[in-house]
Amino acid sequence: MNRFNLRKKQRISYYEPDEPPFDDYVFCSSCRDYVYEYCAIHGPLLIIPDDKVPAVTNLPPIVPRAALTVPRVFLHLNVSTIRGAGLGVFATRTLPRNVRFGPYRGVRSTDAASNYCWQICDKDHKPSHMVDAVDGNNSNWMRFINCSRHWSEQNLVAFQYRGELYYCTIRTIPRNTELMVYYGSEFAHRLQVDIGRYNSPIDEFGNLYTYFRSLVHQSSLYFKT
């Protein structure tokens, strides 16, 4: 005769929690991977906010408002090392890995009308809109960061977090080094960057400087100013 065991048993829940939205993840350059909110091994990102700009300034109208938002303790604007690229952003002091800048400011748009656009996706990872920073008075200093022409120049990575776009340092950036990010294949192609050569070993060029000079000569009209 079978007897039933009437002792209380712990209930087992087979409920699986939903996967967090993709833009709740941040990029950890040390792990070279996306982690939920912060890295349990290397800690949270070091956040450097924009400088606050007063409503009224005494600067001439030729100076765009975006230039005033540079976090001056850490960064400064100067002529880019890319010939014909106009201004660039440089490190005032050495920056470590996993420093976060942003968000990228601009005007919401439905299409990529300029080379200052970043695409934002919705919670389902589908394209939602563009953030266009072509207007220097309706954007921030991140518009001045130029596109790297080869992986050896890239020291920032762009990632979306909670509906906004940020840049994160992926290596130590020495003082007076220009900050550069890869715009992605679509915009890099518009800037005449040779995508096929972007990830190639440096030795393949023989002389990267010669290659860059020819590249900039072809694309000086396309880089940001």
| Residue-level pLDDT at 61 | 78
Domain 40-54+65-219 adopts which CATH fold?
Beta-clip-like (2.170.270)
187: which 2 tokens? 């915009």
Going from N- to C-terminal start, the domains of the chain cover 40-54+65-219
pLDDT the model gives residue 34: 84
pLDDT 10s per residue in the chain (225 long)? 555 555 666 666 555 666 777 778 888 888 888 888 889 999 999 999 999 998 777 777 788 999 999 999 999 999 999 988 899 999 999 999 999 999 999 999 998 888 899 989 888 888 899 999 999 999 999 999 998 988 889 999 999 999 999 999 999 999 999 999 988 755 444 444 555 665 666 654 444 443 443 333 333 333 343
Q: Residue 93's pLDDT is what?
A: 97
Token pair 């953030």 is found at: 131
99-101 and 46-48: which strand pairing? parallel
What proportions of the chain, in percent to the nearest 5, are helix, strand and coil?
A: 15, 25, 55
Q: What's this model's pTM, rounded to 2 decimal places? A: 0.77
DSSP conformational letter for 66:
G
Instruction: Give the residues across from 89 on adjacent strands.
Output: 77
Distance between CA atoms of 161 and 143, rounded to whole angstroms? 18
